[in-house]
Amino acid sequence: MFSTFAIRSRKFSAGVIAAAVLGGSLFAAVPVQAAPPGRPYGTVVASTGIVERAFPSTDSSPRGMLKFHGQAALRCKVRAQEVQGNPIWYMLRDRTTWVAAKYIENTGEVSFCRTVSHKALDDPQTRAAMG
C-alpha cells in the first residue's frame, strides 16, 4: 500500500510541475501591448476595420487599412462628406491619409486643420501636392 501511495504522489508531483511549466509558457506567449501613440490618437471601433483614404471622402482612393482596435495618431480634423450622419474626418499624423471619425474613438482633443479647406481639397494642384 505504501508503494501505491508513493507512486501516486510522484504522479501528482509530476502533474503539478507539468502544469506549472505549461502555465508559465502560456503567460510568456501573451503578446505585450504596444504603447499607444501620443495624444491625440484614435482607436478603430469598426469590427471590419477602416479604410484610409487619400482625401476625406468615400469616393477617394484607398491608401491603406487600419484594423479593428488598431490605434493611430491624429493630426487634425475637417468637416467633409458625412458618413452615417458624422461629417468629421481625421488626418493621420504620420502620413497624409484620412479616416472617417464615425469609426474612430479618439483620445485627446483633435483640433481642426488650419491649412486644409474645402476649396483646397477641390483644387487639383492641392490634391496633387497632398497625394
pLDDT at 97: 96
- For the range 112-121, what are the long-range contacts, defined as Cβ-Cβ under 8 Å and sequence gap of 24 or more? 112/76, 112/77, 112/78, 113/75, 113/76, 113/77, 113/78, 114/76, 116/76, 116/78, 116/91, 118/80, 121/55, 121/56, 121/80
Mean of pLDDT over the chain: 76
The pLDDT value recorded for residue 39 is 80
39-95 residue pLDDT tens:
899 999 999 999 999 999 999 999 999 999 999 999 999 999 999 999 999 999 999
Q: In the predicted model, is pLDDT for residue 17 greater than 50?
A: no
Look at residues 37, 47, 35 and name the one whose alpha carbon lies nearest to residue 110: 37
pTM: 0.62
